[in-house]
Structure 1
């Protein structure tokens, strides 16, 4: 079984360069207020000297206006929009029309996740289930109870889309998450050392994912 990998929260050219040489399928850039927030103008400069090696860029937004997202899409060659706030199905539809890009919806783990996923059925092109931490939208390094993962995967499969698991995934616990056979894994703080993406942590993550995929 192949696992989709998304490395998120790149905040420098060096970060992007490090992940561009990895086995990740998607590289995330955060345009919402966050310690990992980046500016479109900076990303444009980085991309002049960084080859993405076929990886797709995911732009992460939190309750941004349609016009703001559309403006950034014109500046940065995003392949996917990730809405990580309290966006409604109607807003997702507007964003898709304005950008002509697929939109993933992030939902924080709670008793209402399945109900929320069903609200976005036929609208969201994928899901990220993240930990719920008061005052934070993501990137907390805190995981949720992964025993609920199979229920989220089942609902995503019913809708015909992928479901990524985020929140506190790192080299020391990824094998536990892999037991639940997620479609994809979204990692930010788990591949960082200080404020930078760390090549060794990325290698450890990918060694364990490859071992899982090979069935060994």
Structure 2
């Protein structure tokens, strides 16, 4: 199966179009006010309509309440929810029951001890995202441009699909995939000029580098991706 590539924190028509044309499998939209990538519902509606049927739409939230999640789902019509806060497994079950959408749970990683919670979440989530643990004084849990020690995942035995994030860029994505054997990669700050401002050329470079990690998955021509990739499979 080809590596899945997710470009997260998209906030403009131009950069969304670049990500789609360059062959991103997943496009992420952030709904978290402290983030420089936070979207209003109206902006999300417009961007979501452009991505419809072209990539898997991911809505990223952080400890959002039911009303917020319902508004996001109604507006964006995401294919999957990314829960990036301190949501418990009970909260995941509750969300899945109410919204009937696949869930991707982000787990902060710094040392092997951080994997202790993995079995619990793997029993509920549909996909796991391993991200670098944020510093204690950080105002948001992700998108900080810092990698974690990928060797923590080196011998991971997990049947559930998983992705890696945190400090990825075109220069290190190949090594991250080699060490972690992840089925997908997720980038945000690594394709930005400044926090929250995506760079089209960095997006293209990242997707090229990610595709090059898998000889069976050459860089597609703009707009050409496999059916499996479009489905997020």
Q: Partner residue of 1:26?
A: 26
- TM-score with structure 1 setting the length: 0.89
Q: Please give the alpha-carbon distance, in whole angstroms, between the structure 1 residues aligned to 2:51 and 2:7.
A: 16
Evaluate the alpha carbon distance shift between residue 206 and residue 45 of structure 1 in structure 2; reply closer, same or farther with a 3 A threshold: closer
- Assess if the C-alpha contact under 8 Å between 1:11 and 1:38 holds in 2: yes
Is the aligned partner of 1:149 residue 2:150?
no
Between 1:8-17 and 1:204-213, the stretch displaced more is 204-213
- Assess if the C-alpha contact under 8 Å between 1:166 and 1:186 holds in 2: yes
Q: Partner residue of 1:168?
A: 167
- Assess if the C-alpha contact under 8 Å between 2:130 and 2:165 holds in 1: yes
Is the aligned partner of 1:177 residue 2:169?
no
Evaluate the alpha carbon distance shift between residue 91 and residue 201 of structure 1 in structure 2; reply closer, same or farther with a 3 A threshold: same
- Assess if the C-alpha contact under 8 Å between 1:18 and 1:197 holds in 2: no
Deviation, 1:165, is 0.4
Ranked by relative contact order (alpha carbons within 8 Å, sequence separation 6 or more), the top structure is 2
> Per the alignment, in what secondary structure is the counterpart of residue 2 of structure 2?
coil
Q: Partner residue of 1:209?
A: 210
Kindly provide the CA deviation profile for residues 89-109 of structure 1, in whole angstroms up to 9, marking residues without a partner as x: 110011111111001110100
Deviation, 1:47, is 4.0
Q: Please give the alpha-carbon distance, in whole angstroms, between the structure 1 residues aligned to 2:28 and 2:48.
A: 13
- TM-score with structure 2 setting the length: 0.83
Q: Please list, as runs of the form range in 1=range in 2, the aligned pairs for 1:54-203 lying within 5 A after superposition.
A: 54-110=54-110, 111-134=112-135, 135=138, 136-152=140-156, 154=157, 156-157=158-159, 161-180=160-179, 181-194=181-194, 195-203=196-204
> Per the alignment, in what secondary structure is the counterpart of residue 122 of structure 2?
coil
Q: RMSD of aligned C-alpha atoms?
A: 1.9
Q: Which runs of 5+ in 1 are unaligned?
A: none
Q: Partner residue of 2:36?
A: 35
Kindly provide the CA deviation profile for residues 152-196 of structure 1, in whole angstroms up to 9, marking residues without a partner as x: 4x2x32xxx211100000011112212222111010011122343
Q: How many residues align?
A: 210
Q: Please give the alpha-carbon distance, in whole angstroms, between the structure 1 residues aligned to 2:201 and 2:72.
A: 32
Write out the 4+ residue segments of structure 1 that deviate beyond 6 Å after TM superposition: none
Q: Please give the alpha-carbon distance, in whole angstroms, between the structure 2 residues aligned to 1:104 and 1:173.
A: 23
